[in-house]
A and B are shown apart, each in its own frame.
Chain A
Amino acid sequence: MVVRGVRHSLVFPADIVRPVMADDQTPRPPGQPDDYPSGAGQGWTALSYLVGGMLVWGFIGWLVDQWLDTGGVATGIGFVLGMAGGVILVIRRLGTPT
């Protein structure tokens, strides 16, 4: 059935019985979800891009190191590249104003 414009297959009483309680005054107009997760989600995303970038490319750099036996240089390059990649990702995904 359709409740307030959204089709549900299973409707819970709290969604019908208490329209006043349900309090449809959400701060943003319903309809379009936001482009970015807000607040806490963005913070953890930024941190995970930075740390993840460093880990992934550091690991790839370490593998190259083991293969070519360059004694640590490739790992260092991997860390720096990964960090640069992480920063670029944060700027592109979270840094463009809506």
Chain B
Amino acid sequence: MDVLAAVNGSTAAIGYGLAAIGPGIGVGLVFAAYIQSTARQPESSRMTLPYVWIGFAVIEALALFGIAFGFIWAK
């Protein structure tokens, strides 16, 4: 069968690029929420800061998986 079209290069790079979209938006949402809540009620900033780190850690985990598996699965 003839090859009509082909894409050369590293699909791991494409995969990592796609994988970075979600966590980028997610971390942005977390910090936007923190900044907004602090703007509305500054005294609450110390109370909500721990939740910022929980959210950041869980979301960033996926982004870091993206980097790591990009290397593992690259040809």
Give min CB distance, A44 to chain B, whole Å: 11
B47 at the A interface (CB under 8 A): yes
Assembly CA distance A35 to B6 (angstroms): 58
For A72, list chain B residues within 8 Å (CB).
72
Partner of A46 from the list B46, B53, B65, B72 (CB cut-off 8 Å) is: B53
Task: Report the separation of the CA atoms of residues A87 and B56 in the bound assembly, to the nearest whole angstrom.
Answer: 9
Complex: A79 Cα to B67 Cα, angstroms = 11
- Residues in A24-55 with C-beta less than 8 Å from chain B: 42-43, 46-47, 49-51, 54
User: Is A96 interfacial (CB-CB < 8 Å)?
Assistant: yes
Interface string of B52-66 (1 = CB under 8 A from A): 011011101100110
Interface residues in B, total, Cβ within 8 A: 17
Chain B residues whose C-beta falls within 8 Å of the C-beta of A83 in the assembled complex: 61, 64-65
* Contact residue among B47, B58, B61, B68 (Cβ-Cβ distance under 8 Å from A97): B47
Residue of A nearest to B47 (CB): A97
Instruction: Name which of A58, A86, A95, A96 has the most chain B CB atoms within 10 A of its CB.
Output: A95
Contact pattern, A 62-98, Cβ under 8 Å of B = 1, otherwise 0: 0000000000100110011001001100110011111
Q: Give the complex CA separation of A90 and B54 in angstroms.
A: 7
